[in-house]
Amino acid sequence: MQRVPSISGSLRVGAYLASGLAAVLVAGLLLSLLGLHPLALGGQVLHQSLGSRYGFEDLLLLASPLVMCGLSVALMLRVGLWNIGADGQFFVGAICAAGVGLYGPHWPLLPMLVLMGIAAALGGAAWIAVPALARLTLGTSEIITTLLLNFVARLLVDYLATGPWRDQHSSVTAQSPRIPYAIPKLPHDWHLGGVHWGIAVSVALAVVTALAFRFTRWGYELRICGANRNAAAYAGMRVRRRLLEAMLIGGAIAGIGGMLELAGTVHRLQSGLSNSYGYVGIIVAVLAASSPVGAIVTGLLMALVLNAGTVLQTHGIPASASVALTGLILMFAAIGERLAHYRVVVLHPRAPAPLSARTAA
């Protein structure tokens, strides 16, 4: 086995696809050991998600926050950083949007949605600002700080939903009043009446991010900073500034995702606002190979995995099984990405070993 320093994008994507298939096969084997029929369950998942209008609408509603969180993680991966705190930024964005919607000015719908989106973006960026500054000035691991802030954000939502912002006219003790501003649904002619325009916003933002990476100087410098920071600094690029910008924009995107989920689907601030979207967003970004456009496809795939949890519940399998499946996919993706950097070299008995092999020996 000989290690190669870099691999092509197509090989990386192929490794991730093979890894995802391997994870599904392992999950099927485990279901077989439980006495279930994996193929029949897989057929039910596909039928309920893609074979019915209601299931497809639910799939798109799940895909919207997953694409946003995946895009947030992918943006930071491009510069060699990890955003494990997209879930917390998602929650804080929803908090800021809910505060504007409940206690802000009474403007028409469209200006209010824009204002809520701006507040959510600022909230998500502010929530990652401390980990960003700690990483760039003190060298503190952003993995730890962003992860820990997830719990703080969720507890803050619980406090607001059960305390100052609690709906006094509802028997439910852990939610805010209904947000009076809702994202409009897609046109009725599209036969997706249950889906709001948030999915279009997610896709558009992913495309804009991809274009910025490809055709702007800012995107070029981000790519160089992610590939080799020393080389970027030698070329005169402001590395710290670009890293800070990537982290703040990543937090802002996750915050907007929280606003879209709040104003488009849930319509109330509550702790169940996120179905671990931030954590699943890590898998979305990894499987997409940090591609913003790829996050659209992998977001849909992971939405299909979350939908599978509903089918499994009807057969007595806990809903957490879908979370376990996402963990399997991430683990196999990491293994596949590592193995893709190796190739098999056949050595003849009397032929000299490759230079890299002799050096390693």
Is residue 242 within 8 Å of 123, Cβ to Cβ? no
The span from the CA of 24 to the CA of 5, in Å, is 29
Tell me the residue type at 258: G
| Residue 286, φ and ψ in degrees, nearest 5 | -65, -45
**Domains, the chain, with CATH or none:** 1-36+319-361 (no CATH), 63-316 (1.10.3470)
pLDDT at 352 > cutoff 70: no
In this structure, the strands spanning 2-3 and 342-343 are antiparallel
| Residue 135, φ and ψ in degrees, nearest 5 | -70, -40
Is residue 298 within 8 Å of 206, Cβ to Cβ? no
Among candidates 278, 218, 254, 264, which has minimal Cα distance to 126? 254
- In terms of C-beta density within 10 A (0-12 exposed, 13-18 middle, 19 or more buried), how is residue 54 classed? exposed
Is residue 122 within 8 Å of 283, Cβ to Cβ? no
Percent of the chain's residues with pLDDT above 70: 96
Q: Which residues pair with 297 in a beta bridge?
A: none
SS3 121: helix
How large is the average pLDDT for residues 72-95?
Answer: 95
- Please give the angle made by the CA atoms of 212, 215 and 219, to the nearest 5 degrees: 50
Is residue 294 within 8 Å of 212, Cβ to Cβ? no
Pairwise pLDDT comparison (251 vs 13), residue with the higher score:
251
Q: Which residues pair with 185 in a beta bridge?
A: 196
pLDDT band at 356 (very low <50, low <70, confident <90, very high): low
The span from the CA of 92 to the CA of 113, in Å, is 16
The span from the CA of 193 to the CA of 202, in Å, is 18
pLDDT at 61 > cutoff 60: yes
151-186 pLDDT, tens digit each: 999 999 999 999 999 998 887 778 999 999 999 999
256-275 pLDDT, tens digit each: 999 999 999 999 999 889 98
174's tokens: 């852990």
Percent of the chain's residues with pLDDT above 90: 58
Pairwise pLDDT comparison (42 vs 244), residue with the higher score:
244
List helix spans (H) across the chain.
Answer: 9-33, 38-50, 53-77, 86-103, 109-138, 142-162, 198-215, 217-227, 229-234, 239-261, 277-287, 292-313, 320-339, 355-360
Q: Which residues pair with 158 in a beta bridge?
A: none
Is residue 176 within 8 Å of 98, Cβ to Cβ? yes
Q: Calculate the average pLDDT of the chain.
A: 89
Is residue 285 within 8 Å of 73, Cβ to Cβ? yes
Is residue 146 within 8 Å of 260, Cβ to Cβ? no
In this structure, of 34-48, 311-325, 343-357, the range with the lowest mean pLDDT score is 343-357
CA 19 to each of CA 4, 25, 201, 262, 334: distance values in angstroms, whole numbers, following the listed order = 19, 10, 30, 33, 8
206's tokens: 């992913």
The span from the CA of 286 to the CA of 141, in Å, is 19
pLDDT at 360 > cutoff 70: no
